[in-house]
Amino acid sequence: MNLWLLLTLAALAECHYSCPDLCSCSVRTTEVFCGQSSLTRFPVDGLSPNTTQLSIQSTGLAAVTAHHLSMVPLLNNLQLYHNNLTSLPPDLLKGVPRLNTLDLTGNQLVHLPPNIFSHASLHNLVLKNNRIEKVDAEWFSVNSSVRWLDLSGNLLTGIPSALLLKLPHLQSLDLSNNNLQELQPDALTNLHHLETLNLARNQLTSLKPATFSHNLKLSHLFLQENQLRDLPATLLQGLQNLEHLLLNQNRLQYLPLGFLDEGGSSFMVILSLNPWVCDEKIEFLKKWLNAHPENVFFLDEVTCAGPEALKHRQVASLTDSELGLLKLEMG
């Protein structure tokens, strides 16, 4: 009986804090998950102060305050995605200094106040699929600890250099699915640890030669589904760690001589769905494709858009005579 009593008391001690209504909790209530659409308020009642991971997703939650989060001072992972949040208070993270990951995917956020992310030692920040039109350098403190920043799926038309200057530890930056039309020449100069950069599905028409010259650890570069018409010959210079380069679905007609020789020797590339013009200027690309077929995803989809006689032909299959190269040599 005494043993049973001790076990009962131990169980009661662990369950001193009941699980909040409309939520489920781990045995020790350190992980809390709330995913009921009928949840409209922050689940304060029953929330253990020992909570380290809190996930509130696909609910009717419309507000969260610093007071709410002060109930869980040990929190290190907060997921608030697919709710109805339209704004956040500037002191939101003041009571959770240990917070490492904050995910706000799929809310209705438009504007965020200054210093919103300067009160916690965040490493991972996800603001994906909101309605943010402008990013503000004042969101962060100088020398912010953020390493992973996801701003994809918003309404951004630009990214200020001042913001990225405050993020020297950044390893992954996702700006895909926005309306970016250009990158400031010095935008990425302070990102010496950047390994993954996603600029896919924007409106970029060109890139400066030195755009990535300070990002020598870059291994994954996603530029697909933009409006790029041409690329500087030295764009990839120094990127010896490059593993993946995606350039598909742009408006590229040629690649400059030596372009694909500038990066690392074994990176994988996607070049399909560009309007390649198959004349003498395509010679570099043709030779590179034939020399490195194992480095090209969807090689058979790298095809000519013109001239009419070569339309839909695979670039790698073209002969010198078809490109007019023999004629040029004889001339």
The candidate with the shortest Cα–Cα distance to 202, out of 249, 160, 269, is 249
- Cβ(47)–Cβ(24) below 8 Å: no
Cα 267 versus chain centre, distance: 20
Q: Quick one: pLDDT at residue 23?
A: 95
Q: Which residues of the chain have pLDDT under 70?
A: 1-17, 265, 325-331
> With pLDDT > 70 as the criterion, what percentage of the chain qualifies?
92
Cα distances (Å, whole numbers) of residue 261 to 234, 236, 258: 10, 8, 5
Q: Give the span between the Cα atoms of 173 and 195, in whole angstroms.
A: 8
Q: Quick one: pLDDT at residue 9?
A: 38
3-state helix, strand, coil in the chain (%, to 5): 20, 15, 70
- Cβ(129)–Cβ(151) below 8 Å: no
Cα 27-31-33 angle, rounded to 5 deg: 110
Strands 296-297 and 276-277: unpaired
Token pair belonging to 209: 């030669």
- Cβ(241)–Cβ(212) below 8 Å: no
Q: Quick one: pLDDT at residue 294?
A: 95
Q: Quick one: pLDDT at residue 5?
A: 42
Token pair belonging to 242: 């490059």
Q: Give the span between the Cα atoms of 203 and 206, in whole angstroms.
A: 9
Q: List, for residues 18-48, the tens digit of each pLDDT value.
A: 899 999 998 777 999 999 999 999 999 999 9
Q: Quick one: pLDDT at residue 73?
A: 96
Tell me if residue 286 falls in helix, strand or coil: helix
Q: Give the span between the Cα atoms of 125 and 103, in whole angstroms.
A: 6
Q: List, for residues 242-294, the tens digit of each pLDDT value.
A: 999 999 999 999 999 999 998 776 899 999 999 999 999 999 999 999 999 99
